[in-house]
Structure 1
Amino acid sequence: MKKGLKIATIGGGSSYTPELIEGFIKRYDELPVSEIWLVDIEEGQEKMNIVGNLAKRMIKKADLPIDVHLTLDRKAALKDADFVTTQFRVGLLDARAVDERIPLKYGVLGQETNGPGGLFKGLRTIPVILDICKDIEEWCPDAWLINFTNPAGMVTEAVLRYSNIDKVVGLCNVPIGMEMAIANLLEVDHSRVRIDFAGLNHMVYGLDIYLDGVSVKDKVIKMVTDLEDSSFVKNIQGASWEPEFLKALDAIPCSYHNYYYKMGEMVEDVKKEAEIEGTRAEVVKKLEQDLFELYKDPNLDIKPPQLEKRGGAYYSDAAVRLISSIYNDKKDIQPVNTRNNGAIASIPNDSAVEVSCIITKDGPKPITMGDLPIPVRGLVQQIKSFERVSAEAAVTGDRNLAILALTINPLVASDKVAKQIVAEMLEAHKRYLPLFFKTNN
């Protein structure tokens, strides 16, 4: 009989891995993990070794019987795994910097998961995640796939639509960050706050907010309008929302909505930052160098607080809370990316949505939210169209679909600009996009 759970983490050399390890340590009493396998590619081996050794020290300090394995052999990592977590970045941060810089030349926002950056991260990522899904089918067909890789909504959409894997959940730290921030505003413990989330990944709204089961939405909307920074995450700095706008919206937007509702200002801000400090990818690269220097310290045996600057706050809480709730059939409520199944009437049933769900041993059961409110419905549907067409472009290598996807996206002004950006970015990412360079294209 199996002693404990086996976790396989693809992209094990990520700077976020200590977050994950901390989560498994904190929840060991309810989640009997016996093996954690960190797997990466050759380019990531050095980082995996550094972060893997830190993981071993953290577990040793916690005095827990968890074996950490470091490998480049994905099949060995996946064999008989109970949960597979994915947190990889095709092309590493250099590819992200390209995603951010090229669009700015055209006056378009350069950002990791929105607009052209989101499209191209999806185009690079989706063929890889589908390849991983084939390995999961072969080596651990009963495992749950918990995906953190961005763009998480588009990736979940592609897995549901183009693989045979049904046991997949996409996860993001934005909703839990919103919960934590609102709990702090209300000066109460996070456990007392619940938000009805509905929408898509990085396009999710808090439709209602409850404190001890009683709606406090109006109070929270007023409190949020008084904030100087409307963002709930470290890596996006947004100005405050106009009170009239937020009151009429009658919902709490997430930090990524800054890019849509404040597009002009955000493009200018991102341009200035790129000129002065570098793009976000270049800033993160420096942060990561510093983090990995810290991780190398043989005396370090905790997750360093500097990791929060990386933008991954509450990542382990969200990730391991979800895994524990599936394993223990907790039936608690968490916001995740999953198949809609009628939860949001305004989105096709077979599409991926980000919505509050009851988490069971059979996975997330979406809570019925009905139609999205009129003020947010159109934008969410538009981004879902963008995700669907982008995912199809990723699996077919069809340039025309890539141009169509980008033209649909509200951050791009015209089909001509979309065509120019796609041409330049395809060339820049050529080595990661072989499907687009076959002779039939």
Structure 2
Amino acid sequence: MKLTLIGGGGVRSPFLAKSIALGAHLGGIKEVVFMDTDKEKLDKFGLMAKIISNKINPDLDFKITTDSIEAIKDADYIITTLRVGQDEGRVIDERIAMKYNLLGQETTGAGGFGMALRSIDVLINYCQLIKEHAKKDALVFNFTNPSGIVTQALRKKGFNNVYGICDAPSEFIKQLVAILDVDENDFSIKCFGLNHLSWFKDARVKGKDVMGELLNHDKLYTDTEMRLFEPSLVKQSNNMLLNEYLYFYYYRDKAIKSIKSAGQTRGELIKEVNQDMMKELKTVDVQNNFDKAFNIFMSYYLIRENNYFSIESGELRPKQLQVPSVREMLDADDEGGYAGVALNFIKAYHSGKSVEMVLSIPNEGAINGLEDDDVVEISCTIKKGTIIPKHVGHVDDFQLNLIRTIKFYERNVVEAILEKSKSKAVKALTIHPLINSYDLAVKLVDEYLEAHKAYIGEWQE
């Protein structure tokens, strides 16, 4: 079987290659293609990915290419991880929002709208190519942000083989497993909501309820992403745990103040780090001096990782990572990431073994108060060709009001982008709780449409 990664020149490609190389046999994967239209980045990060794959699994046929048709042809599985507009687009989105004292985070609110503008049409084109050139029953795993909105748009266009994936829920679950010191296979927890807007409840170990133990664990607010929240907010949330991105909704003013105090946005940090990284990597022959190239890569990559959420929260991650050698990286436990999520899906989908995982899929009655075709982020059971969302049913108003408001926003953003309708875009941003102003919505839509005209063309009123 063949797996293709569209966006294979991304900075995370070496880690994705490790996950795929380690887990390929579980899903019967024999061929892997990393494709990217940016040849310069593909020749650095894609080549590093290929070398890492060859070191781990030399029998895996690993290719890199800029040819989308070659990459997609006869593929069984496709992962999409694109950053249309690259780092500069992210910075533009953030700064337009900050100009109006609003958050420009790339998946929520104004910034998420800007990224959706650039991403959706490009993903539609790729999905059409997949329909024409991949295997008839090919599955697409969308990681392109804002993942929930993009997946909703692709589903609305009839690409029903697309599933949204995100590594935030799986990484959080691993943190919970670590503080409980239990086997991950023995642990289960129910996730529900929307992408980057979800909650976790009903934690169990071998069927035993451990939610109380988690809520009172002395490491919950230090060693997991719950460090961003207060116990009083958890109590308000009916004793549910929170997706880290809810920080932007519940601590909006704190986040804006922290970003202003830092003097730069997350996107500006990433852009600066990536530019410096590429500048140094240009001086190295990756193929013939891989250890040096890898050291440069990891030195800069960990600046990004160690500063995750620090600009927005004013606090560094408690666990600061150190630069590993190539051997140490290869020998370390695989973190999985979104490639691991996709591989777990593939393994379960084509075998008789049942696996629980979090996906973005149509609601189909799982959460009361939402439409059946609303794409939600929810725990699912995957087994032999079936994907079944875990039934949630009633959701307390404290969560449901926010879920329904953001879903209304997402539906209108999708319609606005598909129809190139300025009025629907304004309607969407007006109701978003991080904007909540018609006047600001009009200004934001005007500025984003102008800033990204090269990607989206002209819109109608």
Does TM-score exceed 0.5, indicating one fold? Answer: yes
Residues 141-152 of structure 1 aligned to structure 2 (within 5 Å): 141-152=136-147
Structure 2 residue aligned with 1:133: 127
Which piece of structure 1 moves more, 202-211 or 306-315? 306-315
Contact 2:17 2:50 survives alignment (8 Å): no
- Post-superposition offset of 1:239: 3.9
- Work out the CA distance in 2 between the residues paired with 1:143 and 1:291: 35
Q: Which runs of 5+ in 1 are unaligned?
A: 233-237
- Post-superposition offset of 1:361: 3.7
Which piece of structure 1 moves more, 16-25 or 52-61? 52-61
Residue 27 of structure 1: SS of its match in structure 2?
A: helix
Is 1:244 paired with 2:228?
no
- Post-superposition offset of 1:286: 3.2
Structure 2 residue aligned with 1:299: 290
Residues 6-405 of structure 1 aligned to structure 2 (within 5 Å): 6-41=2-37, 44-140=38-134, 141-162=136-157, 164-223=158-217, 227=221, 231=225, 239-241=228-230, 243-249=231-237, 250-273=239-262, 275=263, 278-289=264-275, 293=280, 297=286, 298-300=289-291, 307=301, 310=304, 314-315=336-337, 316-405=339-428
User: Which of 406, 431, 448 in structure 2 is aligned with 1:425?
Assistant: 448
Q: Which runs of 5+ in 2 are unaligned?
A: 309-334
- Post-superposition offset of 1:226: 6.3
- Post-superposition offset of 1:289: 4.1
- Work out the CA distance in 1 between the residues paired with 2:229 and 2:153: 34
- Post-superposition offset of 1:308: 5.9
- Work out the CA distance in 2 between the residues paired with 1:20 and 1:128: 22
- Post-superposition offset of 1:408: 1.3
Instruction: Give the counterpart letter for 2:357 in structure 1.
Output: Q
- Deviation digits for residues 234-291 of structure 1 (CA, Å, limit 9, x no counterpart): xxxx6441x2331231211111111111111112112222x1xx21112112333465
- Work out the CA distance in 2 between the residues paired with 1:416 and 1:180: 43
Contact 1:7 1:35 survives alignment (8 Å): yes
Note the aligned Cα RMSD (angstroms): 2.4
TM-score normalised according to structure 2 size: 0.85
- Work out the CA distance in 1 between the residues paired with 2:276 and 2:187: 35
Residue 204 of structure 2: SS of its match in structure 1?
A: strand
- Post-superposition offset of 1:360: 2.7
- Work out the CA distance in 1 between the residues paired with 2:353 and 2:396: 30
Contact 2:21 2:60 survives alignment (8 Å): no
- Post-superposition offset of 1:375: 1.9
Distance change >3 Å, CA 331–CA 296, structure 1 → 2? farther
Identity of aligned residues (%): 31
TM-score normalised according to structure 1 size: 0.89
- Work out the CA distance in 2 between the residues paired with 1:96 and 1:224: 37
Distance change >3 Å, CA 364–CA 226, structure 1 → 2? closer
Contact 1:338 1:364 survives alignment (8 Å): no
Instruction: Give the counterpart letter for 1:433 in structure 2.
Output: I
Equivalenced residue count is 422
Which piece of structure 1 moves more, 94-103 or 301-310? 301-310
Instruction: Give the counterpart letter for 1:12 in structure 2.
Output: G
Distance change >3 Å, CA 101–CA 50, structure 1 → 2? same
